[in-house]
Amino acid sequence: MPKPNNAPQGRKSLMDNRVVSILMALACGLATWLVVTIYIDPQGSTTIRDVPINYANSATTYTNQGLDIVERPDISGVTVRVEGNITSIGKMTSSDIMVYPSYSGVSGAGKVTLRLQARVTNTTDYPGNIKCIVEKPYDTIDVMFDEVSEKTVPVTVDASAVSIADGYMLNKTSAVPAEITLRGPTSELDQISQVVAPVLSDDALADTTTTPSTLELRDENGNTITPQYTTMDSDSANVTLTIYQVRELPLEVDFIGVPNGFDTSSLHYTLSQQKLRVAGPARTVSALESLTVTDFDLAREFEMDRDYQRLIELPAGVVSLDGVTNVTLSFDTTDMASTTLNISNIRLVNVPSNYDMEILSSLVSGVELYGPKDEIEERRQRSRADRLPEHQPDSRPADHPGHHPDPVLHPHLRHRQLHGTVRGHGEIKSAHPANGPLWEGAPAKRVRREPKIIVSPSVSFADTTYAARLLCRFAA
C-alpha cells in the first residue's frame, strides 16, 4: 500500500484553474470576434422598404414568345432584407437595389406565379458579398400574360366643339402625324377603334389655324378608353383646320373669236345655272366678282338651234358647294337666220415690217353668216333680184341700190405667236428674215425654203353698224 505524499506543494497559479482558463479563452475569442466584426469585417443585416419592382428586367424571356404583361399586382414597392458588411449596407437606400421577377416559368399566355428576386445595382458604392432577400408576403406575385401585337390607326380629328364664323365653313382637317402605331396585348388592341385628336376653340374661326391636341383612344361606340398596357408611338398631334370663305357668285361666258365690230350683247343666251355657291381661301374668294365657264369660240362653234356644255372654271383652291361642274349654254336663235358665203376678198393685216407676205389662198368657202332674219333675207332677195350669186362678192359701188356690204377675210399673223390650224384657213407664204427667227420666241435658224404658215382668219365688214349684227363661222 503506497504511502500518501505528505510533502508540502507550492502555490497554484490562477491560470492553473480550469474554469479560469475557459473564461479567459472565451474572453479572448470574444475580443477577437469584436475586433473582426467591428474593425475588420463587421457583418449584419438591414431592412430597406418601398423598393419598386422592375418588370422590364429580362423581359425578353416573354416578349420573344409574343407575350406581354396584361395584369400585375398593384404594389408600389416591397421590403428587402440586406445582409453584408453592416458598416456598408447601413447607408443603402431603395435606389441601390433592384427587385425583379424571375420569368423562367413563363411559357405561354395565362396567369403565372413569379418569384421576386433582388440584387444590388450600385456595386460601386457597395462592393463585396451582399445578399438581398425579398421579404414575405410579396416574395412571390401573380402576373397575367397575353399575346402582344401592333396595329396602325389613322388619326381622326374631332372638331365638333369648334365654332366657325358666319360666311365661312370648315373645309377639311388634317393631323401630323396622320397615323399612330399602337402596341400592346391583343385583347386591348381589339377594343380600340379610333385614335382621335379633339380640338377646342373659344372663338369663332374665320381663318385656317393649327393647334396641338392630346390624342384619345376610343372604342367603336366613341367612348374614350384608357388601356393599361397599350402604348402609342406619339400621344399628341398638331391639327390643322382649313377654313374656307363661302360666297354665291354669278356665272358668265367669255366669247372669243369675235368678228371685228360684232356686238356680243346682240346674242340672246342663257346658262342652265346662273349662280354658283363656292368656297375657298378667303384671300382668293373675297377678290372674285364672278365665275366664268370655258371660252366659247363664236368663229368655230356657233350654230343654230344647238346647246353647248361648258365647264365651270374655278380658280385654284376654290371648290363648288352645289356639286355642279358643267352648265348648258343655250342661244335663242328664234329671230336669227344664216346663209353661206364664199369669200375671195382676202387682205393681210398685222404683218411685221421685216416679213414679205404673199397670200396663196384665193378663196375661202363655206363661211356661215348669221344675223337677224330680216337682214339675212334682205341680202338673199337683193342677190336674187340683181342675179348676183350669194357666193360671189359684191364689188359694186357702195352707193349702188343693190349693194350689200361684203365681208373681208383677214388672215392674222400675231407678232408673238401664230394661231394654230382652224377650220377654214388662209395660207400665207413668208420669207424668213435674214438675221432673225421665224417669229419672236422661236429659235433662230437658217430657212432654205419659204415656209407656208397656217393662220387663223377673221372677217370684217366695211359697215361697222352692219358688222355689229352679223356673225361669221368658218366651216370644217
Q: How far apart are CA 248 and CA 253, in angstroms?
A: 17
pLDDT above 60 (res 223): yes
For cell 346658262, what's the residue? 271
Confidence class for position 470, pLDDT limits 50, 70, 90: low
8 Å CB contact between 411 and 364:
no
More confident call, 107 vs 31: 107
- Distance, in Å, from the CA atom of 162 to the CA atom of 205, rounded to the nearest integer, reads 8
Answer whether residue 193 shows pLDDT above 90.
Answer: yes
Phi, psi of 99 (to 5 degrees): -105, 130
The DSSP output letter for 40 is I
Confidence band, pLDDT 50/70/90 cuts, at residue 440: very low
Q: What's the pLDDT score for residue 441?
A: 30
Per-residue pLDDT tens over the stretch 25-68? 788 877 776 666 655 557 788 999 999 999 999 998 998 888 88
